[in-house]
Chain A
């Protein structure tokens, strides 16, 4: 398939995703949306759900076709970079409607930098005249993230000049900067356009990072940076980077065993098999990914934890195929909510099915292909 046609198709689907996201603007927000979009999402829920699934599926098909083209060397790194830049530009203008986490980040930043209160003690609801309370979903929670994340949010928050729309934009731009950071580290470690595209063009990564502005990208940037610094034998800064990563969202604490072994091997001058390091990093991050229901549930954006390392592995390995299965299924967890507009009823079961069936199917297909 012609790469330009495919790129235009992919960009158009992303534009549609961006437009669709504006239908999820909360009625209590001081942000205006096109009434038609809001009515489509709220009143024509079956159609909205079908549209959401169709858009996600189309994006995924486009992504797989791109990966195939890159694997066949028909698409070069410069094409990937252009496509990622276009995707980022489109999604930066989308509304973070598929997850309201960015509003929680903003609220926590407001508690810290505007009200000058300890966000680990004071909840947004403790300030009854805070305008965000009208639409905030986690107003009765203290800060959930680490101190490094809270300190970092000062940058986008201050640059948002207390304007909600501008602040959302700044948080998304902030996530985009770390997305670029992760991509540059992936390139440095792999020198593979496939690895860069595997991460950078993944619809889940694009939507959750550039669309919803999740902070997982920041945590993964520092985690990857710590390994890059080990490779460069900059021990002290490597440790600082890992600590920063852990103190963003805590999940990367699971990387410690792999980190210690790698660290010891480099110190002893032993050769490092980076392929193996990335595999183990992916496995331990999958462990915490699967353990996340203990705390809450497996959210789509949690896939960024193992995916960052899976991208650095061999193309079309079993780990990559399984991850592709999850990358396809996890965004669909939002579909039953779009249809029912509540998280109860059949929604939890549907979420479980769409999470685990696609990777199982992908693995089955992979096994059948290998048998041939």
Chain B
């Protein structure tokens, strides 16, 4: 009987040992319309217009975070297709959107709204963005010269570009 009790207690402990904490990971969206698509311009216009729909400080924060995510995914896809100039443009837009988040968070807090969940969300987004940027950076060269047919060559310092992008996401 004692042996049975012992086994039972052992099993309970084992169950606790094998329990792992499951947490929903921050998920970036699918890439929407990409440059070159007929709908790309419409998508960009819609992004600008949505700003008026997302009124209110919390909604505004959601709007900027969504755009930052969207443009980061756009940049990642463009980097994968080695469309570097377009990719850098998308990444710059993503950076701009992410930069306004801390200010908005402060504004929301000043309005007396509890920001604990939002702060956590932004922190998770920052973590995910940094991880994504690291992933992209391993796939691209440190520097690159883009030579369009009829225009001046464009020098792209990816080390600097990624450094700045990461700096903007460190909270």
Hey, which bits of chain A sit against chain B, CB under 8 A? Answer: 115-118, 121-122, 126-129
Contacts and interface: CB of A to CB of B under 8 A. Distances in A.
Contact of A121 (B59, B111, B116): B59
A117 B53 CA distance: 10
Nearest to B55: A118
Interface in B49-95: 53-59, 62
A117 to B, nearest CB: 3
A117 B58 CA distance: 7
A128 B116 contact: yes
13 contacts: A115-B56, A115-B111, A115-B113, A117-B55, A117-B56, A117-B57, A117-B59, A118-B55, A121-B59, A127-B58, A127-B113, A129-B112, A129-B113
A115 B58 CA distance: 9
A128 B53 CA distance: 22
Contacts of A115: 56, 58, 111, 113
B56 A122 contact: yes
Interface in B111-134: 111-114, 116-117
Contacts of A126: 58, 117
A117 B104 CA distance: 13
Nearest to B63: A121
B24 to A, nearest CB: 16
Interface residues of B, number: 14
Contacts of A127: 58, 113-114
A115 B59 CA distance: 11
Contacts of B112: 129
Contacts of B54: 118, 121
Contacts of B111: 115-116
A187 B44 CA distance: 54
Interface of B: 53-59, 62, 111-114, 116-117
Contacts of B56: 115-118, 121-122
Given A122-B56, A122-B58, 4 more contacts: A117-B56, A118-B53, A129-B113, A129-B114
Contacts of A121: 53-54, 56, 59, 62
Contacts of A129: 112-114
A129 B114 CA distance: 6
A245 to B, nearest CB: 24
B59 A128 contact: no
A111 to B, nearest CB: 8
A118 B60 CA distance: 10
Contacts of B113: 115, 127, 129
Contacts of A117: 55-59
A128 B117 contact: yes
A358 B77 CA distance: 62
A127 B117 CA distance: 9
B82 to A, nearest CB: 37
Contacts of B58: 115, 117, 122, 126-127
B104 to A, nearest CB: 13
Contacts of B62: 121
Enumerate the 5 nearest inter-chain pairs by beta-carbon distance, A residue then B residue, closest first.
Answer: A117-B56, A129-B114, A128-B114, A121-B59, A118-B59
A118 B117 CA distance: 18
Nearest to B56: A117
Contacts of B117: 126, 128
A120 to B, nearest CB: 8
Nearest to B111: A115
A126 to B, nearest CB: 6
